[in-house]
Every structure is written in C-alpha cells, then in structure tokens.
Amino acid sequence: KTSFNIAVLPGDGIGPEVVNESTKILNAIGEVFNYTFEFTYGLMGAEAIFKTGNPLPEETLQICKEADAVLFGAIGDPSFDHNPDAKVRPEQGLLKLRKELGLFANIRPLKTYASLIDKSPLKKEIIEGADIQIFRELVSGIYFGEKFTDEEAGYAYDICKYNRDEIAPIVHMAFQEAQKRRKKLTLIDKANVLDTSRLWRKVCKEIAQKYPDVELDFMFVDNAAMQLILNPKQFDVIVTENMFGDIISDEASVIGGSIGLLPSASIGNENALFEPIHGSYPQAKGKGIANPVASVLSTAMMLDYLGLVEAAEKLRHSVEYAIENKYVTMDLNAEQHYSTSEVGSFIADYI
Amino acid sequence: KTSFNIAVLPGDGIGPEVVNESTKILNAIGEVFNYTFEFTYGLMGAEAIFKTGNPLPEETLQICKEADAVLFGAIGDPSFDHNPDAKVRPEQGLLKLRKELGLFANIRPLKTYASLIDKSPLKKEIIEGADIQIFRELVSGIYFGEKFTDEEAGYAYDICKYNRDEIAPIVHMAFQEAQKRRKKLTLIDKANVLDTSRLWRKVCKEIAQKYPDVELDFMFVDNAAMQLILNPKQFDVIVTENMFGDIISDEASVIGGSIGLLPSASIGNENALFEPIHGSYPQAKGKGIANPVASVLSTAMMLDYLGLVEAAEKLRHSVEYAIENKYVTMDLNAEQHYSTSEVGSFIADYI
Ligand SMILES: CC(C)[C@H](C(=O)O)[C@@H](O)C(=O)O
Ligand SMILES: CC(C)[C@H](C(=O)O)[C@@H](O)C(=O)O
C-alpha cells in the first residue's frame, strides 16, 4: 500500500498551526518515498461548536472512521473553561472520538534530547538517559463513568468504573512493549484506597504470568508523582488508568525539557489517532510561535503505525537534526528562534 | 491552659521511631516553657490489625476524640499492598479516623531550606524562594464515595462525590490563608471533564466575592502537575479535592528537597491531627535512619494549633539550626550523618 487517507482535525488554539506543518512534511515524505497522502479535514472542539453547535459533528466522525489514521491538533478554549455551566464543551468532542474509535491505549514516549537537556527544570544528572514509555488507558474510568449534577441540592458525582476487559488489552500491550525494552513494567495505581485500582493490580498480576521475562512492580500514584521527578531513570514502561495517566504523563513531560516536543499515539483495534501532548495554548494562537515538533513527532508515530518505518525514521532523524542545529521555536531558544512554519519547512526541506 | 492531653498514634514502619523523637522534644518544650504534655498511646494501622484485627480500634478513636490534639506517625505495610484481596487494610484506619474526627482540611506548607537547596532534583533557580501552602480536602471525594467490586462479573467502581458543604469550609480556609500571604489562590481541578470539578469551580467563584483582595485562578490538574515543576514560584495557596491533593502534594514535596522534612496538619472543627507527609517507609523500619524532622515540624504545627505560638517558633528555629549545622540523617547528608534519635536529641537539647 502506498496511498493513505489521513483524517486531519486541526482543532483549537495552536492546533491548526502545528498540524499544518505536519501535513506540509507528509507531502515532502510522499515525494521522497513515493507515497500519496490524501488529507480529509474535519471540524472538532470549540471550532466545531462555534460553527455547528456540536464538538464532534457526525461528518467528522465518519471521516475518521474511514481514514487510515487521524492526525489531530489540540482542543480547548478558555471561554468554556471559565464557564462551569456550559453544557456543550469542546473536550466532549475529543472524548467522544476516542470512545467511538475505541482508542483504548494512549502511548507517550519520553526521552531527553542531548542538546536540550539544559532546558529542563530538573538537573542534568537526574534526567540524562531517562527513557520512559507511558501507556494510559483512554476510553474508560472516571472520564467515561456516569456523571451527575443536582443544582438544587448542590451536589455532583463522577463514577470511576473498570472491568477486566477494559484493563487487559492495554496491560498486554504494555507488557509486550516492555519485552522489547528494558523488561520492566510499573503499574501506577491507588490500590490502598480504590477498588478499581485493586482490580487493576489483580489483572496485572494474572497477565504477568504470560510474560515471565518482564519484572512487574506497583507504585501508588502519589509516590509515583514524586519518584518521576526524584529518579525518572528507575522507570521503563508505565501502565495506568485514565485519570492517573493524564496527570502523570503531563508531569513526566518536564523530563524531556519541553512539552512542545512530546508526541502521543492513541491506538485502538481498528483506528488510531496521533496528537501532541500539549494543549491548545490559546495565548499563542495565530502568533506563529507554537512549536510544531510535538505534532511532527506524532506524525512519525503515525508513519510507524502505517508500516512506513523507514519514513518514520527519516522524519525523526530530521527533527533531531533541526534541534541539534538550533533550528527551533522560541520556547527552546529565546535568543535565536524561528517561526512555527519556518521550523516545519526546515524539516520538510531536509527530508 | 498549660496542660495538654496528646493522643499519640505511632502507627507502622518508621512511624514509631519518628513519633518517639516528637514526644521527646515535647517533653523538652514542656520543661522550658512550663507546659505539661500528657501522652496517651493508641494502636492504628497494620500494627493494630496484627494485634486486634481492627485498623482503628474503638479505644484508639476514643483516645483521639478526648485529646487536645493527635500526633500520628505513618501507616501502611507491604504485606497488604501486595494482596489486592485483603478486606481489612491498614489505610482504612487512617481514613476512618479522618472521617470520624471530621478533619476536612489537610494543610501542607512547602518551602525550601537554603542549606538543602542543592538536595532537590530541581535546579536551584527554579525552587529558590518557592513558598506554597496546599489545602487538600480530606474527608470526601473518591476516597469516601461508595466502592464496589463484583468478583464474578469482573468489575469494580469508586464514586467521587462532593456537595457544597464539603467544599465551602476548606475554600474559606484557603482564602483566609491567602489573605495573610501573597493573596493568590489557585483551585486545581479537572473541570473540563468532571462534574465534581465544575461544582468546585462554581463554589470557589461564589466564595471569591467575599475575598475581593485575593486573586483566584483555576488550573487543570494535568497542567498543574507540570507547572509545579516548571515554575513552582507562581503558586501561593493551592486548594484542591482529596485525590488530586494526594498526588499534587506528594509531587510538590520534591521542591523542598526531601519528603523527610515535610509536615502536615489535618484540621477539623473540633479535632486536629498532625502527621509527616512521608509514608511508613517499611524498608527503613528499625534501622534508626528515618528522618524525624517531618514529624517534629508536624509537632510545631500542633503547638501553633494549641495556641503555643512561642514554643512553635522556638521548635522551628531549633530544627533550622540543626539543619544549617548539618546535624541531619542520612537522607540529607550521605557523608556525615546521625541517627533518628541523635537528631531528635540534638533538637531537644537545643531547646
Ligand atoms: C483535553 C482533555 C480532555 C484531555 C484529557 O484529559 O484526556 C487532555 O488533557 C489529554 O491529556 O489529552
Ligand atoms: C495512606 C494513604 C491512604 C494516604 C492518602 O492517600 O490520603 C496518604 O497517602 C496521605 O496522603 O496521607
């Protein structure tokens, strides 16, 4: 297969700007490697609400279902964040899309770039050589459990719920990844308090018997939040439930020195979506200062997923080349910096 | 009042060792300031389970209810952590005690010690001068909502529930603390996903009108987990729900350079409990290497609570003196270090 149908959802804030660099670069890759990437655009998030009233229009969902892969920018808008009463919210679009496409595993690789190591708030000796892969469960837990607010009585609740079938697939995936790496898997949970965490622990222990070469250990989420900063090198592969994964993986982004660098892949049995870890960063919208690297590296993960391993390697190499040569945006070098599209074009040209 | 009845719950792991230094020091304070501290000991946690089958025996609860304040060590034992099926667990004792005493606000002050600043995994310029006060709601939320496991069907759930009356008191407390400090309050939540978080945001906004001199802002918990490391100085007072507070406050402990230094106070309308942030650290049990400072500084918070402000100041000053003069345990100085009880005695003698 040499022709691919990519659904592109630019989303909110800086989403459109960074995704634009990714499509530019995909075109360059298409030329060099003789692939055709067809882009079909869809609305999602605050943009979609403003234009259609719906954060995930039916048409967008169809586009995604039919695509070979989905490239997504970012979501979120401050006008909704500051209004706790809004019934329709941008994030509902992303959450619904994850659920509808069955994207149960969010994968976030974290590593440090030699040339950027001084950008991290952490000391060099703490992070140098850290290399962590986080597997976050993405379509269950408190994100998708029943929610309820009673305005009159003044209370609200959110239910965190898990069953074995929601836990097992991502745990298998994480074990398999650990087998390819340093053979250590850490489950992050709160099994001293939560029933759902105890179920995670149980399922992990059972599945561990199929992977005797991988060492499984357990860490409470409060301790993990501390250990990630004190000694990130102790981790190889991490697996965790949806909410803990949201918190832990954003926190862990400081290890790499900049959240503007970090990609993620959300994988299901039939579909996959690729997005930067960073949010919509509305303050930077339209200024041409957003770092496109996280989106571009998400695109590299997409190429891997599509089986275009050589192209993915080439792309990652080009990004490293740009970073080593300080062809970067403002967040990485305040003295001398380039715009979002200059960085994207530099990478595209290098390819 | 010059005579005080203190309930002492040494608990598990290193709990007994560190609490022992606190009572030693309270005796010294009693001599110098002419106060009498009467200690009544109670069992709690794994220790209590082994001896009575109950992590919080009725007798312990009574002792605490009748005391002027409770001094607590630590809780938790690996034999329970590794057994997801255990029905009786040490942590239940602490959770029940918090609930029964109505300790709705867990207060964790964080600051850096000049002489220890190099111990932090964070760069000096990031943490120097950071000074944060975290208010964590302690008796509601997912910790205390209904929990359920169906073994057969293979699922489990935990309910996160809040009502206005559970949110308002701690929010008022946090606003009042902010008024005494740099006048900034940050609510950490996940209002883009959770109904309970939207209720927190709403209640905070309403209460803010009573404190027009305090600037209130909101931060999503994933972003907060990152911002605490990237730029801790942006925070003054933080208020948050139970589970987020558990994660965020342990994470924030890295700012101070060592979790072995950090005290906490859990305050209710009629009772108060003082405990280190660190856990039971079972690997260190009985070795005389545990750092007693977190427990000793928790004792200083207790003295404040009892109105013995001068004694509290004296105690804090003594701790600082010990640290500045490197009279510390192994965790703070690998080359030259003292035992748990040597450090405690040094502080007691200095008083
Ligand atoms: C936008 C938000 C709903 C989302 C989440 O919490 O999952 C984001 O923080 C993420 O991590 O992808
Ligand atoms: C021991 C455990 C139940 C407890 C908690 O999660 O509240 C501890 O981590 C804490 O923060 O005091």
Which CATH number belongs to the domain containing residue B152 in this structure?
3.40.718.10
Candidates A151, A228, A243, A253: best to mutate against B (most CBs of B within 10 A) is: A243
Domain's final residue, options B256, B280, B303? B256
Pairing label, strands B215-220, B184-189: parallel
Which chain B residues are closer than 8 Å to A81 by Cβ?
191-192, 218, 220
Pairing label, strands A272-276, A263-267: antiparallel
* Cα of B75 to nearest chain A Cα, Å: 11
Question: Among A122, A109, A77, which Cα is nearest to A261's?
Answer: A109
B260 pLDDT more than 90: no
Domain with B178, as residue range(s), is: 121-256
Residue B48, pLDDT score: 95
Task: Judge if A97 and A137 occupy the same domain.
Answer: no
Task: Judge if A278 and A315 occupy the same domain.
Answer: yes
Domain's final residue, options B234, B256, B278? B256
- Distance CA(B74)–CA(B280), nearest Å, equals 5
State the distance from the centre of ligand 2 to the C-alpha of B277, rounded, in angstroms: 8
Instruction: Mark whether A250 is an active-site residue.
Output: yes
Task: Judge if B248 and B126 occupy the same domain.
Answer: yes
pLDDT interval class at A87 (50, 70, 90)? confident
Question: Chain centroid to CA B238: how far?
Answer: 14
Query: Is the residue at B224 inside a domain?
Result: yes
In this complex, is the C-beta atom of B216 within 8 Å of any C-beta atom belonging to chain A? no
> Residues 6 or more apart from B206 whose CB is under 8 A from it?
none
Report which DSSP code applies to A289.
Answer: -
Task: Judge if A229 and A333 occupy the same domain.
Answer: no
Contact check, Cβ <8 Å, A225/B202 = no
Mutate which of A190, A195, A222, A226 to test ligand 2's pocket (most atoms within 8 Å of Cβ)?
A222
- Taking CB atoms and a 6 Å cutoff, what residues make up the pocket around ligand 2? A 192-193, 222; B 75-76, 91, 94, 246
Query: Is the residue at A210 inside a domain?
Result: yes
Residue A258, pLDDT score: 79
- Distance CA(A234)–CA(A115), nearest Å, equals 22
Whether A217 has a binding-site annotation, put simply, is no
Average pLDDT over residues A98-105: 97
Report which DSSP code applies to A122.
Answer: B
Nearest CA in chain B to A193: B143
Question: Among B323, B327, B341, which Cα is nearest to B287's?
Answer: B341
Instruction: Mark whether B222 is an active-site residue.
Output: yes
Report which DSSP code applies to B259.
Answer: G
Task: Judge if A267 and A147 occupy the same domain.
Answer: no
Q: Name the H helices within B128-220.
A: 164-180, 195-208
State the distance from the centre of ligand 1 to the C-alpha of A75, rounded, in angstroms: 8
Query: Is the residue at B242 inside a domain?
Result: yes
Task: Judge if A142 and A170 occupy the same domain.
Answer: yes
Query: Is the residue at B115 inside a domain?
Result: no
Tell me what percent of the residues of chain B surpass a pLDDT of 90: 87
Residue B186, pLDDT score: 98
In this complex, is the C-beta atom of B168 within 8 Å of any C-beta atom belonging to chain A? no
A342 pLDDT more than 80: yes
Contact check, Cβ <8 Å, B251/A194 = no
Residue A44, pLDDT score: 96
Query: Is the residue at B72 inside a domain?
Result: yes
- Distance CA(A294)–CA(A300), nearest Å, equals 10
Question: Of the candidates A156, A162, A192, which has its C-beta nearest B81's C-beta?
Answer: A192
Which chain B residues are closer than 8 Å to A221 by Cβ?
246-247
- Distance CA(A160)–CA(A166), nearest Å, equals 12
Task: Judge if B39 and B60 occupy the same domain.
Answer: yes
Q: How many domains does chain B have?
A: 2
Tell me what percent of the residues of chain A surpass a pLDDT of 90: 87
Instruction: Mark whether B81 is an active-site residue.
Output: no
Query: Is the residue at B116 inside a domain?
Result: no
- Distance CA(A246)–CA(A260), nearest Å, equals 16
Task: Judge if A252 and A127 occupy the same domain.
Answer: yes
Ligand nearest to the CA of A13: 1
Question: Among B221, B227, B236, which Cα is nearest to B189's?
Answer: B221
Catalytic residue, candidates B68, B131, B246, B304: B246
Contact A248, A189 (CB under 8 A): no
pLDDT interval class at A165 (50, 70, 90)? very high
Residues B248-259 have pLDDT tens digits of 999 999 998 778
Q: Name the H helices within chain A.
A: 15-33, 46-52, 58-66, 78-81, 90-100, 124-127, 164-180, 195-208, 221-230, 242-252, 293-305, 309-324, 340-350
Query: Is the residue at A114 inside a domain?
Result: no
Query: Is the residue at A87 inside a domain?
Result: yes
Burial B148-162 (b: 16+ CB within 10 A, else e): ebeeeebbbbbbbbb
- Distance CA(A102)–CA(A323), nearest Å, equals 34
Residues B230-246 have pLDDT tens digits of 999 999 999 999 999 99
Task: Judge if A242 and A315 occupy the same domain.
Answer: no
| Nearest ligand 1 atom to alpha carbon A75 | 1
Residue B117, pLDDT score: 87
Residue A34, pLDDT score: 96
Identity at A38, one-letter amino acid code? E
Residues B126-149 have pLDDT tens digits of 999 999 999 999 999 999 999 999
Question: Among A301, A280, A256, A212, which Cα is nearest to A75's?
Answer: A280
pLDDT interval class at A86 (50, 70, 90)? confident
State the distance from the centre of ligand 1 to the C-alpha of A76, rounded, in angstroms: 9
| Nearest ligand 2 atom to alpha carbon A192 | 3
Catalytic residue, candidates A190, A233, A285, A326: A190
Task: Judge if A138 and A19 occupy the same domain.
Answer: no
Task: Judge if A266 and A251 occupy the same domain.
Answer: no
Instruction: Mark whether B246 is an active-site residue.
Output: yes
pLDDT interval class at A333 (50, 70, 90)? confident
Instruction: Mark whether A205 is an active-site residue.
Output: no
Q: What is the mean pLDDT of chain A?
A: 95
Task: Judge if A152 and A215 occupy the same domain.
Answer: yes
Domain's final residue, options A239, A256, A273? A256
